[in-house]
Structure 1
Amino acid sequence: MVLRDGRTTSLLTMGAVAAVLTALTPATAFAAGDPLQRYAQQQLRWERCEMGGLPAFECAKVKAPLDYAKPAGRTIEIAISRVRAGSAKERHGVLLMNPGGPGSQGLTMPVEMEPLLPAEVRARFDLVGFDPRGVGQSSPVGCDLTEDERSLQHPYREAAFGKDVERARSVADKCWAKAGDVLPHITTRNTARDMDLVRAVLGERRISYFGYSYGTYLGAVYTQMFPQRSDRIVLDSALDPKLAWRGTFRGWSTAAELAFTRWTEWAAERDAAYGLGATAAEVRRTYWELVEQAGRTPVPTDDGKALDGDAIRSGYRAFVQVEAVTPWIVSLKAAAAGGPAAPGVPPGVVDDNQTAVTWAVFCGDTRSWPRDPEQYRRDAIADRATYPLAGDLGANIQPCAFWKSAAVEPATAVNNDVDALIVQNQWDPQATLAMAQGMRRALHGSRMVTVAGGEGHGVVVAGPSCADGAFTRYLTTGRLPAKDLTCTNR
């Protein structure tokens, strides 16, 4: 959600439309005379999807206003897909799904999620996916960015800060030159409005929802804007709405340090197997000596590249998965000593379309991004001192410092009593436990199931877990746990 400076007339118009949308009872699509009524009455043309491989996998396009403040103006297309419920008799409704991002394509989610859902859930819901506005097959946008410009995080170095500033400025300039007429309208709030339009077009009074990662924030915004239209809401790996979005970037650093400390203790207990140190302090010293050495002489990797110390630090998210990250650190240490090349860092660069939408949303959802580059410099230095592993990566300058105008609407304050189920791994590097707890506080009617010791980003999307029982019960019956739960995978 993005961008422009709101003018008084535009804000009033947007506020009036939003008030109408929110005030409607769930028994009606849109009120008589509402300018969105014509969109709700459109007839969908369902066709077999070209991707996915299932005969029952259907796709269609929904027309939506580019600017909800001007519903009679320019339109865009929202690509949607579905796999119908397994039982017409047991069908409860639609389960709309979003895979996160922002900027990730969700059209294939029904096919991807179907094997992960129990039969009881499949019987009750049409699984509906969609590419959010600006993404994939939904009137996509792009910025023609280089690979370096498409990377979302860069380490702070005093000598390179001028280059960092120019890179951030270049991304903003390119995006606005290529898609400045559309970017102001690619926002979380507008995507939530699209979701409600899809609900109306499908003939549903209320809609259930499954959101993952950024999709949890999108789902929370939907519940805030359309509480009476929200049915059974599941948020997998949740973000704290109050941190959107600069706070999210900086919040990763805190979680990284916690995961790193846990890893040093784990590796020390297994010094006989890995040889990284017999105490947590020794393991920590081994790691930072490796980073320092790689800063002088980059470590060769099997993809033909070499990793300097900052590149090794950029893999900080791997520390939540202790059994997987430890052999990588061992191989880096051996390669630095002249042994075989080590595996490289998993690529962190996304495609141009996703990057364009990512910055449209991150920069346009909120007006909290500093405009002064020196503020980013100070924050990067301070955060690196407090959180050595990744502090500067989350605080360094971003394109939002140079976005052409502020957000059209204020950031959404999520604070409601809508029922929702939050499922969360204890050790998640991206939607951290603290962030999920922030979401829990914002959604007073929610319950949270924490997987103690759970590692990685995603619970339901990762396959079977101890949270499955609560997840299935909620979607099939609408009943949340009586209280927040903690469980352990066996």
Structure 2
Amino acid sequence: MCQTDAEFRAFYAGDFRDRSPAAVQGVVDRSKQFAKDCLERSGDLVKYLNTDQAVRDMDLFRSLLGVQKISYYGPSYATWLGAYYATEFPQHVERAVLDSNEPFAQTWQQAELGQPMSFQRRFGQDFLPWIAKYDSVYHYGSTAAEAQSTWEARRRALHDHPITIGSLTIGPNQLDNATLQGMYNADQQWRGLASVLAALEHWNTATQAEHQLVQKTFANYLSPGFAATFFPVTCNDTPWDRDLDYWIRQSAKDTTKYPLVGARELAYTATCVYWPESDAPRVKVTGKGLPPTLMLNSVHDPATYYEGAVRAHKALRGSRLVTVTGGGDHGQYQNGNACVDGIVDAYLLSRTVPAHDTTCPTKPLPLPAQGS
């Protein structure tokens, strides 16, 4: 563990959109402290927390199980893990499904630079029109522009007057976090997020059930445990630009253009700026020696942006890309899409591989929450 709960709450303190010199320096200082705490409290362990080491652990498990080849399914970061395993141990791969793909043929720096655009696209082009469609339920605005205005007004209000529930403080950064987390899966998360946003608009008269939903939503995002694994992997695996001034300039641009995630960019990248140089091996994904691999991605995936998935697909020779058109869920297999499930099941059960890249339509967007 790198930090306690209280220390990690400080990592998200304030307002990441504040670009005043004092606020920017505060973000940098807290990122530097996080990196320092990881090194002091974990010792030499942190340098071994990388994807190459995880790949070698995987192959050890394979060997202990006494099997020559494995079949692999991995979503999100596990696509990076699977692609590296397939590159380093292609002789032990029978089948592989990579779902919602990180740009594993590139660097973590490039992966994180793509997320502000893709989260903003999912929020602006998908979620806001959806919540506006149900203005009679959520009262958030009858157009996407009105819903955006309501959300921004609430963020400004939280900047000036954060909401406190027990030990939990809900400020602008917390609103960003809850919103971006809600972008991952429409059916599972949009109704809950919309109900939370609606409750914040009448907080003084919110019901006990609404208070509980808000508390659960805002207490559930990131933890010190997650950060203690996320940052070592992303900072260790691939090289980072160590020029802090570059990241201050870049994050200012992304804060303006893609504020939902661009605002936190400096906090994340500055952590890797202060991370020690890694000796993790540089792995180049090629697909050499592999059977055909199946890749899945939606066009508006917020976390693993489609443009990066396409580049990963081109690097992984012999792979087939299943594009889910018109949708943006993160994680496609067993997500209620019969087209996707049919392709993956045929591949895993009978080795049937699509003759070429193909598409599946997205599933319908959810109806609003009942009783809101």
Please state which band the TM-score falls in when normalised by the shorter chain: 0.7 to 0.9
Counterpart check, 1:323 vs 2:197: no
2:263 partner SS? helix
Query: Shift in Å at residue 464 of structure 1?
Result: 6.4
Distance in 2 of aligned mates of 1:189 and 1:146: 29
Which 5+ residue runs of structure 1 have no aligned equivalent? 1-141
* 2:171 corresponds to: 308
Larger RCO: 1 or 2 (CA < 8 Å, sep 6+): 2
* 2:227 corresponds to: 355
Query: Of the candidates 86, 90, 93, which is equivalent to residue 230 of structure 1?
Result: 93
* 1:24 corresponds to: none
Distance in 1 of aligned mates of 2:266 and 2:311: 20
Distance in 2 of aligned mates of 1:253 and 1:153: 17
* 1:466 corresponds to: 339
Q: Structure 1 residues 145 and 363, CA, compared in 2 at 3 Å: closer, same or farther?
A: farther
**Structure 2 counterparts to residues 176-215 of structure 1, below 5 A:** 176-215=39-78
Q: Structure 1 residues 236 and 216, CA, compared in 2 at 3 Å: closer, same or farther?
A: same
Q: Structure 1 residues 355 and 284, CA, compared in 2 at 3 Å: closer, same or farther?
A: closer
* 2:297 corresponds to: 424
* 2:202 corresponds to: 334
Distance in 2 of aligned mates of 1:407 and 1:152: 27
**Structure 2 counterparts to residues 41-56 of structure 1, below 5 A:** none
* 1:298 corresponds to: 162
Q: Which amino acid aligns with 2:359?
A: L
2:264 partner SS? helix
Query: Shift in Å at residue 475 of structure 1?
Result: 0.9
Q: When you count helix as a share of all residues, which structure comes out higher?
A: 2
1:415 partner SS? coil
* More off after superposition, 358-367 vs 261-270: 261-270
Given that 1:236 and 1:459 are in contact with CA atoms closer than 8 Å, whether structure 2 keeps it comes out as: yes
* 1:161 corresponds to: 24
Distance in 1 of aligned mates of 2:192 and 2:2: 35
Distance in 1 of aligned mates of 2:317 and 2:306: 17
Distance in 1 of aligned mates of 2:355 and 2:251: 42
**Structure 2 counterparts to residues 48-67 of structure 1, below 5 A:** none
Offset from partner CA, 1:80-104 (integer Å, 9 cap, x none)? xxxxxxxxxxxxxxxxxxxxxxxxx
Query: Of the candidates 357, 360, 371, which is equivalent to residue 486 of structure 1?
Result: 360
Offset from partner CA, 1:56-108 (integer Å, 9 cap, x none)? xxxxxxxxxxxxxxxxxxxxxxxxxxxxxxxxxxxxxxxxxxxxxxxxxxxxx
Counterpart check, 1:475 vs 2:343: no
Distance in 2 of aligned mates of 1:356 and 1:216: 20
Q: Which amino acid aligns with 2:232?
A: A
Distance in 2 of aligned mates of 1:463 and 1:269: 23
* 2:271 corresponds to: 399
Q: Which amino acid aligns with 1:228?
A: Q
Distance in 1 of aligned mates of 2:17 and 2:314: 33
Distance in 1 of aligned mates of 2:346 and 2:9: 41
Query: Shift in Å at residue 216 of structure 1?
Result: 0.8
* 2:130 corresponds to: 266
* 1:219 corresponds to: 82
Offset from partner CA, 1:104-129 (integer Å, 9 cap, x none)? xxxxxxxxxxxxxxxxxxxxxxxxxx
Query: Shift in Å at residue 232 of structure 1?
Result: 0.1
Distance in 2 of aligned mates of 1:488 and 1:464: 7
Which 5+ residue runs of structure 2 have no aligned equivalent? 365-372
* 2:8 corresponds to: 149
Given that 2:8 and 2:223 are in contact with CA atoms closer than 8 Å, whether structure 1 keeps it comes out as: no
* More off after superposition, 339-348 vs 204-213: 339-348
Distance in 1 of aligned mates of 2:309 and 2:334: 16
2:339 partner SS? coil
1:315 partner SS? helix
Q: Structure 1 residues 310 and 355, CA, compared in 2 at 3 Å: closer, same or farther?
A: closer
Given that 2:97 and 2:295 are in contact with CA atoms closer than 8 Å, whether structure 1 keeps it comes out as: yes
Distance in 2 of aligned mates of 1:187 and 1:401: 17
Query: Shift in Å at residue 362 of structure 1?
Result: 1.3
Given that 1:151 and 1:350 are in contact with CA atoms closer than 8 Å, whether structure 2 keeps it comes out as: no
Given that 1:211 and 1:234 are in contact with CA atoms closer than 8 Å, whether structure 2 keeps it comes out as: yes
Counterpart check, 1:280 vs 2:140: no
Q: Structure 1 residues 177 and 269, CA, compared in 2 at 3 Å: closer, same or farther?
A: closer
Given that 2:296 and 2:322 are in contact with CA atoms closer than 8 Å, whether structure 1 keeps it comes out as: yes
Query: Shift in Å at residue 218 of structure 1?
Result: 0.5
* 1:134 corresponds to: none
Q: Structure 1 residues 325 and 348, CA, compared in 2 at 3 Å: closer, same or farther?
A: closer
TM-score norm. by structure 2 comes to 0.81
Distance in 1 of aligned mates of 2:198 and 2:258: 23
**Structure 2 counterparts to residues 403-414 of structure 1, below 5 A:** 403-410=275-282, 412-414=283-285
- Paired residues, what number? 343
Distance in 1 of aligned mates of 2:12 and 2:113: 11
Query: Shift in Å at residue 147 of structure 1?
Result: 4.0
Query: Of the candidates 365, 373, 380, which is equivalent to residue 237 of structure 2?
Result: 365
Given that 1:147 and 1:349 are in contact with CA atoms closer than 8 Å, whether structure 2 keeps it comes out as: no
Distance in 2 of aligned mates of 1:350 and 1:474: 36
Given that 1:150 and 1:349 are in contact with CA atoms closer than 8 Å, whether structure 2 keeps it comes out as: no
Q: Which amino acid aligns with 2:314?
A: R
TM-score norm. by structure 1 comes to 0.63
Distance in 2 of aligned mates of 1:453 and 1:253: 20
Counterpart check, 1:437 vs 2:286: no
Offset from partner CA, 1:401-426 (integer Å, 9 cap, x none)? 1122233423x222225321123344
Q: Which has the greater radius of gyration?
A: 1
Query: Shift in Å at residue 454 of structure 1?
Result: 4.7
Given that 2:75 and 2:101 are in contact with CA atoms closer than 8 Å, whether structure 1 keeps it comes out as: yes
* More off after superposition, 146-155 vs 432-441: 146-155
